[in-house]
Amino acid sequence: MEVQLANGAIPWFEEGPWDSWNHVEAAMALAVGNHLREAERAYSFLRETQLPDGSWWSEYGNAVPMEDRTHLSRTKAPTIKDTNFTAYVATGIWHHFLATGDTKFLSAHWPMVDRAVHFILAMQLPNGSIAWCADGSDLPINEALVAGSSSIYKSLNSAIRIADTLAIEVQFWKIARDRLGHALAHCPHAPGSPWILKSRFSMDWYYPVLSGSLSGAPANERLARNWSRFVVKEMGCLCVVDEPWVTVAESCELAITLLLQDQRAAAEALFSWQMNLRDEDGAFWMGYQCEERIVWPEEKPTWTSAAVVLSADALFDISRANGLFKDPDHRSPQQFVAFV
């Protein structure tokens, strides 16, 4: 709440970048903590700033350079129209409804969700995947990301649940979601595929399972296959396999993923290791450099602490929205084959 601006925006940190995905992640954490007024201010900000095409201009925080060895620069980040960032608003609105049961809130934000989904589906590629962003001329860049499309799969499920609750027919959305699920399961290695495979990133490993696009035995096989590559015992999940950098957000998301696969003991252990990176003010550091044994960078993004809160809710049933990622209706209806 300390970082939230007067207009409702929640940047990464003070004077830091803002994007709609991490903004929604923080808003959901506020709702878990019963800070409903602040969460609703965050969603009002999204309504007020949504572009006519249904998207948002988001600042690409991953492109922000380091100011020095341990701090990110407060310089302006480049802006993009990221499809995953845009889609995530549906997950946030559905989460808020689960937390509150407020149908009026759901109805009031339906037009925003509807426009966002139309933007996303306009970016669906012939194989069913979703182009990761639009360029400055609003033309889709015809490449798809596994983690991003997996998150969009989850968001489309959330949008469909909103529509079903409001008795609005969205059969086309269901078809598009199923095409995306099929693409995630079967197409990454196809010749001429639009997928950009980033197997060095842990998110590409676990996000198909977290999103529900991969489930059952294939999901367990996928997690087991790369467990030793990405998980450092008593520390957490690496952000990328070739750097000794454990990150709190990825670790907490992986904990939820394990919970989905009925691996509660492993999920609770992974979550507990993250408590070592909680600062005195209650916020969490972004990550830990395992070889140098230092917090790195010396930043405490809002979305890092939000991931901790959402993981805690999934594990320990803190709020009425604790089932967001555990809802079996959000699992794939098929037992898709595993892919790398």
- Per-residue pLDDT tens digits for 15-62: 999 999 999 999 999 999 999 999 999 999 999 999 999 999 999 888
CA gap 258, 293 in Å, rounded: 26
Higher pLDDT, 294 or 141: 294
Residues above pLDDT 70, as percent of the chain: 93
| Residue 5 belongs to a domain | no
- pLDDT value of residue 191: 64
Backbone angles phi, psi at 295, to 5 degrees: -65, 130
User: For 291-315, what is the mean pLDDT?
Assistant: 98
- Which residue(s) pair with 288 in the sheet? 246, 295
| Residue 8 belongs to a domain | no
| Residue 130 belongs to a domain | yes
Kindly report the CATH number assigned to the domain that includes residue 115: 1.50.10.20
- pLDDT value of residue 98: 97
CA gap 223, 157 in Å, rounded: 22
User: For 151-160, what is the mean pLDDT?
Assistant: 98
| Residue 136 belongs to a domain | yes
pLDDT at 334 over 50: no
pLDDT at 183 over 60: yes
pLDDT at 121 over 80: yes
Return the C-alpha torsion angle 315, 318, 324, 327, nearest 10: 60
Number of domains in the chain: 1
* SS3 assignment, position 125: coil
Confidence of residue 82 (pLDDT cuts 50, 70, 90): very high
| Residue 1 belongs to a domain | no
- pLDDT value of residue 61: 85
pLDDT at 338 over 50: no
Other C-beta atoms lying within 10 Å of the C-beta of residue 256: 24
| Residue 337 belongs to a domain | no
Higher pLDDT, 69 or 282: 282
Residues above pLDDT 90, as percent of the chain: 84
Confidence of residue 129 (pLDDT cuts 50, 70, 90): very high
| Residue 14 belongs to a domain | no
* In contact, 60 and 17? CB cutoff 8 Å: yes
Domain of residue 292: give its range. Answer: 20-330
236-275: per-residue pLDDT in tens? 999 999 999 999 999 999 999 999 999 999 999 999 999 9
pLDDT at 69 over 60: yes
User: For 309-316, what is the mean pLDDT?
Assistant: 99
User: For 217-234, what is the mean pLDDT?
Assistant: 97
